């Protein structure tokens, strides 16, 4: 049986763990064997901690964690990956930067402490762009992570290594972060599910932008039920993060087990013409969004007015980069990639009025979104404006036939939603004519993760695409630009 364990869903594996029909150590060894088999082709988990994982498995088997075993989100010895932006005690953690190429933290990030307390076993660190900045996963420390559906293509970013570690069966759950789409875009490119939770749902712990809601921690998985399990393991109040709040009385897993379809679904291909989307992506997503009607939903073409929110996002993101990168840029400019330099200097050069305007624009947009959700239960958009592109590129060469203005242009369909603080999930919806995964972005009401996960679960059951995973890495060529 051990040779097939990596093919189980997380929910299935945890069920076997609870019944003691499989041990944590058996799962760790199955995960380690799968990593050995596929890692050379994809470079998803460049830093492994297998002995640490085995030791954790043995402690669980000896009775560690009994106090948490009855809690929602108990993982019981399930192998997981942790993004290389997030500290794991005693494990090399580089943040994808040459500045931290040899960094080994003494203490884990609070979200890792929570995952491990819930019985998650860390197998390794998943690859990320430098400091998580970028829609393609590569850095000067570990190189490029490749898409398992076609290893000539990018897996997206910035939680690209996490998405690939799931799609290939290396681990059962993945932790990641999302600022402008970093859990959603790799989910779309790799045909897995990635959730950007509401700010405060999951601790960010050690960040310097503690009062900013732009960047969040969250889970990725192969199925929506697995995603709910991961969110249960991660969610809750944390003293180290002033924005966090208590986990819900009814677990997300329980909500997904009894899903209710949304009544009124809004779909927009491009936010009323404000977004560049490749023709093939537009056509596939428009067609596949209509399939919500098969669940009894009313589906209408509708979108909140986004105004100039894309510019507001760049202003606020640039200000966040000043907080995070100003001192490093002053001391180590030659070791920082151009995209980060551009984003940080943009923040340093913009006026206080530009930041103030962005905050006013965001507040007005949020009020429009709240009004929009008085009519609609769910907003559906394309998960990305393009399909996965050449792994050697920093961003798509073109979007809808036009050259992107900056490296963030490929994530704008996601970053618009970041500024709403609404939860959003990437769900697979099919493939383009070149066999590249295509996905939808589902957006729920503020703090509405339970209803959002229910809608995603019903849509997943309708399509059945999750049954295609996990996969062996597939070589291929780069399709021509749309």
Find the catalytic residue in 31, 83, 165, 421. Answer: 83
The region that residue 435 occupies, defined by phi over 0 for left and psi between -120 and 50 for alpha, beta otherwise, is: left
Answer yes or no: 215 catalytic: no
Active site annotation includes 58: no
Say how far apart CA 393 and CA 376 lie, in whole Å. 38
3-state SS, residue 382: strand
Q: Taking Cα atoms as reference points, which of 156, 134, 137, 135 lies closest to residue 145? A: 137
- How far are the Cα atoms of 98, 212, 238, 340, 408 from residue 323, in angstroms, in the given order? 20, 11, 22, 12, 19
Active site residue 158: yes
Chain-centroid distance, C-alpha 114: 18
Give 280's DSSP letter: H
- How far is 420 from 306, CA to CA, in rounded Å? 10
Residue 411 DSSP code:
G
The residue from 108, 182, 318, 421 that is catalytic is: 182
Q: Which of 108, 126, 158, 215 is catalytic?
A: 158
β 173-178/216-221 pair status: antiparallel
CB atoms within 10 A of CB 245: 15
CA distance to 121, 259, 348, 458, per residue, from 266 (Å): 39, 19, 38, 16
Catalytic site residues? 83, 158, 182
């Amino acid at each position: 049986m051990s040779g097939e364990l990596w093919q189980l869903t997380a929910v299935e594996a945890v069920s076997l763990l609870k019944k003691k029909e499989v041990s944590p150590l058996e799962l760790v060894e199955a995960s380690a064997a799968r990593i050995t088999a596929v890692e050379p082709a994809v470079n998803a988990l460049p830093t492994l901690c297998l002995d640490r994982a085995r030791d954790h498995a043995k402690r669980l088997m000896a009775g560690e964690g009994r106090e948490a075993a009855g809690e929602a989100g108990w993982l019981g010895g399930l192998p997981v990956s942790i993004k290389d932006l997030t500290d794991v005690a005693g494990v090399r953690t580089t943040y994808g930067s040459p500045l931290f190429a040899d960094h080994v933290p003494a203490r884990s990030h609070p979200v890792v402490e929570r995952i491990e307390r819930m019985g998650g076993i860390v197998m390794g660190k998943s690859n990320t762009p430098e400091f998580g900045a970028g829609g393609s996963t590569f850095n000067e420390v570990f190189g490029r992570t490749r898409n398992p559906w076609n290893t000539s293509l990018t897996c997206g970013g910035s939680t690209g290594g996490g998405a690939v570690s799931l799609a290939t069966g290396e681990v059962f759950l993945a932790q990641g972060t999302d600022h402008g789409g970093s859990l959603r875009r790799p989910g779309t490119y790799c045909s897995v599910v990635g959730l950007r939770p509401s700010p405060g749902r999951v601790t960010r712990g050690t960040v310097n932008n503690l009062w900013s809601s732009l960047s969040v921690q969250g889970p990725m998985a192969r199925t929506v039920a697995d995603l709910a399990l991961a969110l249960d393991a991660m969610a809750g109040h944390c003293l180290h993060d002033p924005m966090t709040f208590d986990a819900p009385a009814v677990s997300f897993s329980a909500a997904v087990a009894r899903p209710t379809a949304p009544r009124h679904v809004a779909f927009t291909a491009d936010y009323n013409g404000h977004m560049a989307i490749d023709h093939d992506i537009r056509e596939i997503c428009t067609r596949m969004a209509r399939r919500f009607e098969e669940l009894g939903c009313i589906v209408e073409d509708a979108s909140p007015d986004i105004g100039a929110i894309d510019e507001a996002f760049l202003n606020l993101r640039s200000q966040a980069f000043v907080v995070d990168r100003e001192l490093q840029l002053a001391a180590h400019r030659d070791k920082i990639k151009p995209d980060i330099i551009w984003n940080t200097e943009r923040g340093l050069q913009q006026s206080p009025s530009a930041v103030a305007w962005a905050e006013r624009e965001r507040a007005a947009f949020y009020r429009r979104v709240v009004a929009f959700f008085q009519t609609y239960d769910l907003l559906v958009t394309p998960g990305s404006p393009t399909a996965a592109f050449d792994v050697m590129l920093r961003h798509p060469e073109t979007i809808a036939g036009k050259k992107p203005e900056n490296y963030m242009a490929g994530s704008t369909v996601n970053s618009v939603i970041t500024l709403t603080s609404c939860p959003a999930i990437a769900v697979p919806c099919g493939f383009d004519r070149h066999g590249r995964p295509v996905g939808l972005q589902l957006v729920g009401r503020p703090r509405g993760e339970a209803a959002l996960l229910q809608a995603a679960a019903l849509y997943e059951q309708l399509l059945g695409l999750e049954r295609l995973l996990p996969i062996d890495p597939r070589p291929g060529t780069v399709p021509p630009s749309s």
